[in-house]
Amino acid sequence: MKLIKCLGVAAAGLAMVSCNQNGGVPNKALQTEVDSVSYAIGMDVARNINSNASEIDREIFMQGFMNVSDSSDVLIAEEQVQMVLSNYFQKKQADARKKQEEDMMKQAEEKFAENKAEGEKFLEENKSKDGVKVTDSGLQYEVIKEGTGEKPTATSRVKVHYHGTLTDGTVFDSSVDRGEPTQFGVGQVIPGWTEGLQLMTVGSKYKFYIPQDLAYGFRQQGPKIKPFSTLVFEVELLEIVQ
């Protein structure tokens, strides 16, 4: 990892600083090219630490550096070092992604609250209609035609024809209109599709009413599917490819 390599350089930089007996950094003029390169590396190391690992304990940081430099007893086995660093920075990245998603969701809820409410109202009214069934997840569906073939699993690859609309009838995607069925993995699509397809047998045609949390949630999907959109699909399962 580039970041881990940067921290290795940082160790060297901090070591040179800590070796100064007065605990400070001498102010030296930059007289040679090596002086300038040395100073630039110090700047780069500081920026990397401040940006990526500002919370590190510098005394323990230097303890690790000096233990290895002096061939002293180290507290972490050499073969575990990369794992410790990788796990830590992966967690930091995951936390950053989670925070980013939370911020994006908050912004979307402020801007598209009406769209979310309209979808919830639509589903509440729709579930009481004749022929509409509701799963534990909230997926609603009705059987237009029941087939007699096998049911796919989450790991199956299927061939389908579909026609997708918003709750107001706006078409956003349709293999039927294109005149060509499509293939994909059952587990590679939105959760509403993944669940719904496993209810069907080959030859069936169902209509899915997919709540936003089983579709694209707070994410915009193309020009027509706004955040928190409830989606409606007519789906015909033509074949289990594999």
pLDDT digits (tens, 9 = 90+) for 142-199: 999 999 999 999 999 999 999 999 999 999 999 999 999 999 999 999 999 999 999 9
Active site residues: 162, 172-173, 190, 216, 233
pTM, 2 dp: 0.68
Contact 231, 192 (CB under 8 A): yes
- Condensed to tens digits (0 to 9), the pLDDT of residues 90-108 reads 998 999 899 999 998 899 9
What is the reported pLDDT for 151?
A: 97
Domain-by-domain residue ranges, the chain? 2-75, 115-240
The answer regarding whether domain 115-240 maps to CATH 3.10.50.40 reads yes
∠ CA 212-216-219, nearest 5°, is 110
How many whole angstroms from its chain centre is CA 102?
12
In the chain, % helix, strand, coil (3-state, to 5) comes to 50, 20, 35
Name which residue leads in pLDDT, 184 or 61.
Answer: 184
Find the mean pLDDT for residues 29-54.
Answer: 86
**pLDDT confidence of residue 22:** 46
User: Is pLDDT above 60 for 20?
Assistant: no
Chain centroid, CA 10 distance in Å: 30
Q: Which of 169, 178, 164 is nearest to 221 (CA)?
A: 164
Range list of H helices, 78-183: 78-126, 175-178
pLDDT, mean of residues 53-74: 81
Q: Is the pLDDT of residue 239 over 80?
A: yes
- Per-residue pLDDT band at 228 (split at 50, 70, 90): very high
- Say whether pLDDT at 121 is over 90: yes
- pLDDT range class, residue 14, cuts 50, 70, 90: low
Q: What is the pLDDT of residue 190?
A: 97
Mean pLDDT, the chain, integer: 88
